[in-house]
Amino acid sequence: MNTSTILAGRVVAIRGAVVDVAFEAGALPAIEDALIIEDIGGMRVLAEVQAHLDPKTVRTIALQATNGLKRGDVVQPVGGPIAVPVGEAVLGRLVDVTGAVGDGREEFQADVPRRPIHRSAPPLSSQRGTSAIFATGVKVIDLLTPLAQGGKAAMFGGAGVGKTVLVMELIHAMVESYQGISVFAGVGERSREGHEMLLDMTNSGVLARTALVYGQMNEPPGARWRVPMTALTIAEYFRDERHQNVLLLMDNVFRFVQAGAEVSGLLGRLPSRVGYQPTLASEVAALQERIASVGDAAITAIEAVYVPADDFTDPAVTTIAAHVDSMVVLSREMAAEGMYPAVDPIASSSILLDPLVVGAVHAETAMEVRRTIEHYRELQDVISLLGVEELSSEDRRIVERARRLQRFLTQPFAVTEAFTGVAGKSVKIEDTIAGCRAILAGECDGWQESSLYMVGSLEEARQKEEAAHKADGTGVAA
């Protein structure tokens, strides 16, 4: 935008994060343009235009605390949206929504390239589909909800069921196999989690190829609302101008929606369903549609999504789910039983679980695993009332195999090794399929269930079973 036609304005009203600015002459700055509010004492606050109230006044949302601002303070238009640093300079660094450094190290040089955080999604004609599998080494995900290279995967779960741990494990699992760039967006999360993430990435050696963008829980809603856009802008630069694959990790996308609802309420908009903003669908789409594969490079997104009160029919959850390729649903019941990762094999899904993409053996094995576990769940009420002895021999066999499958799909994580004392395991998809097929075929019917719990491949479970039999003197299992 041509800044010469927009003169400086003045603050006329402040209500928390909402600041009204009047411009006496010239054109008004456009919606989503950035403004800098300057206090006499040298304080500078960045705000973003959200509405034109009349021919001379705009309503803005401040992205930083407005304490100390007053009516009459000078407002300078930037001449476009917020522009943040991108490129090699941001790798290994932690920045906030405005691109300012947050890791206590030196500021960015003046010659670092900058890009606006608002831009349209790539046109459909330039996007390319992808069917390449993004191997994670996590058995239950690779088998039942395979992730797509250049796709969008979301981890849905309530409070305390393991979303952040799962996202951190996926980061850890990809250190060896994935050689591209990673961008992590911490949206409305706790300061402690951000500190742990920074330490974990430093210790694992991936920080040099990772950019961290944070808008923490204690920051104004405007900052939390725009943090994913800042992270996405950094990712798009590497995809479009460096032609590098990018792994975009977001924790937590629900906080982005929640911040948008707060902003909507501050701006005086009437709420929609369940109190969410009326612009919920378009806000989520503006973020998700920019995550795409273009040319020879792709952005692969892995997103954690908090599910309020474990209600999967919540409008925010259903709106986000409509955009993702792979849905990894975390179950509180499975977490309560100690089945970690607590991925629900029935509710989770992926568009890649197709014989034409993953192969006939993989697809058939996944369907048989699901069918067996679902049959077991249907029988659980009968079992709790009458006992497993009242089932037919066929049903009893299915129940026993389903319980063994559930335990085989558990796995120790590298990121929890410090707490559990158990070394993390990464399992190839071929080993996962072979193990599940062996259990379904009845090869493990005589094994103790505990032998299959928290192991990697079936061979490890076999060794565990043999050790257990030697210990009690009953000989080696069949």
Q: Output the DSSP codes for 434-446.
A: HHHHHHHTTTTTT
Q: Which two tokens stand for residue 132?
A: 């390449």
Q: Is 374 tagged catalytic?
A: no
Catalytic residue of the set 152, 163, 226, 255: 163
Residues forming a β-bridge with 38: 44, 74
By DSSP bridging, strand 210-215 and strand 94-95 are parallel
Catalytic residue of the set 48, 189, 236, 465: 189
Q: Which two tokens stand for residue 337?
A: 């039983």
Phi-psi region of 456 (alpha: psi -120 to 50; beta: other; left: phi over 0): alpha
Residues forming a β-bridge with 47: 35, 62
Cis status of the peptide bond prior to 77, with omega within 30 of 0: no
Per DSSP (E only), the strands in 55-104 are: 57-62, 74-77, 83-85, 94-95
- First-to-last C-alpha distance (Å) of the chain: 75
Q: Residue 305 carries which DSSP code?
A: E
Q: Is 394 tagged catalytic?
A: no
Q: Which of 126, 231, 235 is nearest to 189 (CA)?
A: 231
CA–CA distances in Å: residue 332 to residues 160, 164, 327, 385, 466: 8, 15, 16, 22, 33
- For residue 306, the surrounding DSSP H or E stretch is strand 297-306
Catalytic residue of the set 15, 70, 128, 190: 190
What whole-number distance in Å separates Cα of residue 304 and Cα of residue 186? 10
What is residue 301's three-state secondary structure? strand
What whole-number distance in Å separates Cα of residue 114 and Cα of residue 175? 28
What whole-number distance in Å separates Cα of residue 92 and Cα of residue 24? 44
Give the distance from CA 463 to its chain's centroid: 36
CA–CA distances in Å: residue 376 to residues 79, 229, 382: 62, 44, 10
Residues forming a β-bridge with 114: 85
Q: Decide: 193 and 206 in contact? Cβ < 8 Å.
A: no
Q: Which of 427, 431, 463 is nearest to 448 (CA)?
A: 463
Q: Is 209 tagged catalytic?
A: no
Give the distance from CA 244 to its chain's centroid: 20
Residues annotated as catalytic are 163, 189-190
